[in-house]
Chain A
Amino acid sequence: MCNMSATKPIKVYLQNDKPLIWSSTDAVKIREEWRIVGCLIGCLPRLPRQNNHLGLPLQLSKEEVTLLLEKGAILLLNDATGLKEPSEKEREEFIEYREASYQSQVDLFRAERKKEIYQNMANIIEGKKAKAQKEEKKDSSEATEPSEKEEDFSIDVDKVPIPPIPRKFSLVQIFTESPYRLDQEIPAEWSHPESKQEQLRYHVYRDLWNQGFFLSNGSKFGGDFLVYPGDPSRYHSHYIVICIPHDKPMSALDIVRMGRLGSNVRKTVLMCSQDCNQRISYISLQWSGIS
């Protein structure tokens, strides 16, 4: 089953009624430890202009949030990171931070440059020798002594002049996750599941999760969920879950539709419902011909 970690709960922010995870460590943890897939919806910093791989934030579905709340794995917070006017002191603090960052970047750059020079010292000296020899050939009247030249070519690493670096070359970070400290964290209210259909969906989700599967959104295949035997990145889904109220009358056309749906994509359709004893019953549909 899942590995219940004893560390602090994952923070999930409810923004515009969507539960979002902004921390990358949390996004990783929620998949590896809690078997929750979610959906990445932001641009990937490494390669922002493509749609195959998206980045943070990670959006969770309603069922996932309810489940995690039940297990005590997350803390659902109201988004109190709304913009408020900072005080003078806070503004100064930020300016100091930027300035300090700039200065230390300059130091780092210089150190890096010195290292480069030191590593390539041999090449530099050779280059200088060759250049001097060329010049020597031009003015052959001057008498030169080789011993003097040797001294001229050694380089004192510390005295090499490095041009000043303008401020605009300093690197800054565009913050994905809000870096500002919050005074208090307000837990959000969560009222899912409400309607009968939502309740049914949640119970089915929970039941399947408890059995060790990975579950994800099923709208691509015309169902409620997709059930994976392992991580969705490594395995194809085996089942398409369709939640149906227990007493809903179904026609033969509905069965045919669901059967065709599953057989076209080589997945088994699971019709799930919950009876009066709160037990989930599963009926799978296999499409076979009469031969």
Chain B
Amino acid sequence: MESRKKKHEHILSYEKILCEEELFKHRKPYDKTVPQRGGDKDFSPDDSWLQAKRLEKFYEERKTVLAEPRVERIGSLVTGEWNPDIQLVELHKEMGKFWSTMGFTDKSKKWLYPEEALFLMETNTLEVWYKGLPVSIQQAYTEFLKNLKFEEYLVYAHLRRIGYVVLRHNGRLLSTKYERMIKLDKHINLKKRKMKMKQQSVFVENVQQDSTPQKKVRLGNSTDSVENCPVEMQVDRDTVTTGGLSRENGKSCSQGSYQLSQRDRLNKDECFRTICKESWNKKEGKINQSEDIHFSRNKQTNVERKTDSEYLNEGENSKQTKCSEWNFEDIRFLDIGVPGDIQLKGGISQKYLPKGIPPLSCEKIDKEQLKQKQKSQRRKETEIRYGQDLDTMDLNFSCDVSQPVKKVSASNWKEYKERLLESLEHNSFKSPVKHFWTDGVVPLIRPEEAINTFSVLKKLQVIPQWEGNSGVTSNTDTKKDFPKVSYDVYKPDAKFRKSSPGVPDHRVCIVRSEEDPPSLSSITSLYSYYDDEVPLHWAVVDDGEIAFYSFDNVSFPTQIFKG
């Protein structure tokens, strides 16, 4: 660097800045090679000329590489303004590929987190200004990392340099494993989920009440668990399970995840219109003649055909009105299970029959006669099959198995399953070997417990094996040493969307080497808190050196011995 006379009243110390000739020289990067790492090393120093020469060459190279300045054209630099009150960089315009994985929009302005801004400065993409002067990287290391640990930035930069997409940690996923398996989380409308979440006050991180620019977190696939909601709410929801196959629902799903062709959508719409206001009175088995069954044919010509764009714009609003048209309590489905109960009074009128079928005569079908007929038919069949009348055979079990399971009522699926399990345990079937259970030594299992091999083998374990995902998080002691997960890491992917990043590929926890390694209780509470299969890594930073460690669950198989 050329040195100039230091002008005392000026803000810039010119000896530290490149002069124009130097800048001009750097307009084209002429050397993109980096010194070889490792390579041929000698064992110990001997005073040979060769070693001295090699060392000198290394020092020269290092000097050149370290002294190289960061020179860029103004046109290829993005500019931003540092706002120290909220500790964010406001972007003036976006340019380049980084916006797809960094930054967020709030109040129609684009913002960058300090670690993102610092990283972009170091990669010669961004120039940050503060009140008319550009911020140097040295200043940024002090200013931008005020609320961030130094080690956190080092790990962030380390992962970003090798290409990973690193975002601030977003809380755990609220969708269950089952939902992810059937890809239900992708279908559900995110906005509706957020509203429901606020109502139920589920634990959400990153929510602040002040007016600072906030990344509106759509917790991606952290959708509300379907199981936990009362049944009535489920019905109203825009889910696939409640027949959300209508045109509107198909459109409003998250981008690219559920695409029906236009034709399919229309066909299904038509199907829905055919199941409409009918009321078959189940108890009486009568057709209520006062109400008509509307079999509406494909009335597409009458219906106003909406263009695709209109549907896109309508979005959730149209859906809400469509759903509320149905009165689910009034829809009755014909009970076709018991043929003997059908009693047709006065025959069926012509209009309900398809064309081409002659009108039925008004016969009164005798219930009793029908039953007798069926019975004799069955008897004939069994005689042919078994050679004797089934009625005379005693086919009863020695115990009475006709006892039905006591009816269990619950307000949602999860509760129902739990209560069913409980009732199974408590149900005492009449057993012909009850005397086995009264003694000191009891049988291992009951017949109804032999559901699968696993449940049988489980009984064999004297010391039950701890399962990592036992869901024990209520222990308040663990809150103290609950390690903080800093980042969600995603693999680089063209399909990555900032607005719904999805399930992270890794999670990273950052510790210094001086700190103790995590205790078993903190590890177990972490693994049960994040009960998805995302690997969790600990980044240990030691004076600039970073190493990654992770703890994996190892489960030993239960030994089954023959004989």
Contacts and interface: CB of A to CB of B under 8 A. Distances in A.
Interface string B45-69: 1000001001100110011011111
A46 B35 CA distance: 11
Contacts of A16: 141-142, 145, 150
A32 B66 CA distance: 14
A180 B161 contact: no
A51 B74 contact: no
A118 to B, nearest CB: 18
Counting chain B CB atoms within 10 Å of each CB, the highest count among A24, A40, A101 belongs to A24
Interface string A92-112: 011001001100110011001
A257 interface: no
A219 interface: yes
Contact of A175 (B10, B137, B161): B137
A49 interface: yes
Contact of A173 (B43, B70, B547): B70
Nearest to B145: A16
A276 interface: no
A171 B69 contact: no
A291 interface: no
Interface stretch (A132-140, A142-150, A225-233): A225-233
B363 interface: no
Complex A-B, nearest 7 residue pairs according to Cβ-Cβ distance, in ascending order: A39-B544, A168-B75, A175-B136, A91-B132, A43-B122, A174-B70, A24-B67
B44 A235 contact: yes
B70 to A, nearest CB: 4
Given A45-B68, A219-B513, A170 B143 contact: no
A184 interface: no
Interface string A220-242: 10000000011101111010000
Contacts of A22: 138
Interface in B4-42: 6, 10-13, 16-18, 20-21, 23-24, 26-27, 29, 31-32, 34-35, 37, 41-42
B297 interface: no
Contact of A171 (B27, B34, B43, B157): B27
Interface in A72-90: 79, 81-83, 85-86, 90
Interface stretch (B123-131, B224-232, B379-387, B392-400): B123-131
Interface of B: 6, 10-13, 16-18, 20-21, 23-24, 26-27, 29, 31-32, 34-35, 37, 41-45, 51, 54-55, 58-59, 62-63, 65-75, 77, 82, 84, 119, 121-124, 127, 130-139, 141-143, 145, 150, 154, 157-158, 161-163, 513, 540, 542-545, 547
B126 to A, nearest CB: 8
B557 to A, nearest CB: 30
A126 interface: no
Counting chain B CB atoms within 10 Å of each CB, the highest count among A105, A176, A231 belongs to A176
B133 A94 contact: yes
Counting chain B CB atoms within 10 Å of each CB, the highest count among A51, A53, A94, A234 belongs to A234
Given A46-B65, A234-B51, A235-B45, A172 B127 contact: yes
Contacts of A27: 66
A93 B9 CA distance: 10
Given A86-B133, A177-B138, A105 B43 contact: no
A229 B66 contact: no
Interface of A: 13, 15-18, 20, 22, 24-25, 27-28, 31-32, 38-53, 55-57, 59, 61, 79, 81-83, 85-86, 90-91, 93-94, 97, 100-101, 104-105, 108-109, 112, 166-181, 217, 219-220, 229-231, 233-236, 238
B138 A46 contact: no
Contact of A15 (B34, B41, B55, B141): B141
Given A42-B122, A45-B68, A178-B139, A52 B74 contact: no
Given A85-B131, A179-B136, 19 more contacts: A15-B141, A22-B138, A24-B66, A43-B122, A43-B157, A45-B69, A45-B124, A46-B31, A49-B161, A82-B143, A91-B133, A171-B71, A174-B136, A177-B138, A180-B136, A181-B12, A220-B547, A230-B55, A234-B42
A170 B242 CA distance: 61
Given A45-B70, A46-B32, A219-B513, A105 B20 contact: yes
A3 to B, nearest CB: 14
Contacts of B150: 16-18
Given A25-B67, A108-B20, A176-B137, A49 B11 contact: no
A142 B143 CA distance: 76
Given A43-B122, A217-B543, A220-B547, A170 B68 contact: no
20 contacts: A15-B138, A16-B145, A31-B59, A31-B62, A46-B65, A46-B68, A50-B162, A82-B142, A86-B133, A105-B23, A168-B74, A171-B26, A173-B18, A174-B136, A174-B137, A176-B69, A181-B10, A181-B12, A233-B55, A236-B41
